[in-house]
Amino acid sequence: MEDVTIIKSEKKGKKEKELARIPGCKISSNNKLIKFGVGKGSNFEVPIDFGVNYPGVLAPTILSFLRGEGKKQNIFIEGIAFVNSDYEVQKEQFEFYYNFTYKSSGDYQLNIYMTFIHSDKNNEKGFIAYPFLMEFYEGAVKCSEKETVPIDKIKTVELFVINRNPETSRGTVTTVQPSSE
């Protein structure tokens, strides 16, 4: 599963500038094993003016839980992404991608990439907090066409909010908590 999506800017002359490379597979609403949604954003202003321009995105906050059993077992992910309010991003503009890594500890990690297209403006107003939910069911995370990664073997989830500028992109890792059901 070595898919990579390349986001490019408008053509300038004969060349097109590469903005970002996003690894993994795009999550589609057609995939019945992965459910996701983004809520309406809420304003989040920085209460103190230090006279600096804040970055386009802040590190997201996420929680992840292993829930259910058998085919209904899933990793439930809940989080909030903080995006520059000057970008004027709408919840419909978010796209998600995923892949997994096999860590040196022998554990699997689910990597999720949240991205959006926006204008290039300075952050003068603050941020908009966008809540989101995701569920990855057994069989959703594939390591080949025929093989899948067992959901209960995924021990951590890392979510990246990919800004057009990779230097200002942010990521957060969380441990998958056992079900409390």
Residuewise pLDDT in 10s, the chain (181 residues): 456 565 555 555 556 555 567 778 899 989 999 999 999 999 877 666 666 666 677 788 999 999 998 788 999 999 998 888 878 888 888 889 999 998 888 889 999 988 887 666 665 667 889 999 999 999 999 887 788 999 999 999 999 887 655 554 556 777 888 876 5
CA distance 75 to 55: 30
Give the DSSP H/E element, type plus range, for residue 36: strand 34-38
Q: What is the pLDDT of residue 135?
A: 95
Which residue type does 7 have? I
Q: What is the CA radius of gyration of the chain?
A: 17
CA distance 83 to 94: 11
Which residue from 61, 122, 138 is spatially nearest to 88, judged by alpha carbons? 122
Which residue from 127, 128, 112, 106 is spatially nearest to 39, judged by alpha carbons? 128
User: How many residues are given for the chain?
Assistant: 181
CA distance 16 to 33: 35
Q: What is the pLDDT of residue 66?
A: 94
87: three-class secondary structure by DSSP: helix
Tokens linked to 109: 């990690």
Q: What is the pLDDT of residue 1?
A: 44
The pTM of the whole model exceeds 0.85? no
Provide the 8-state DSSP code for 151.
Answer: G
Q: What is the pLDDT of residue 130?
A: 92
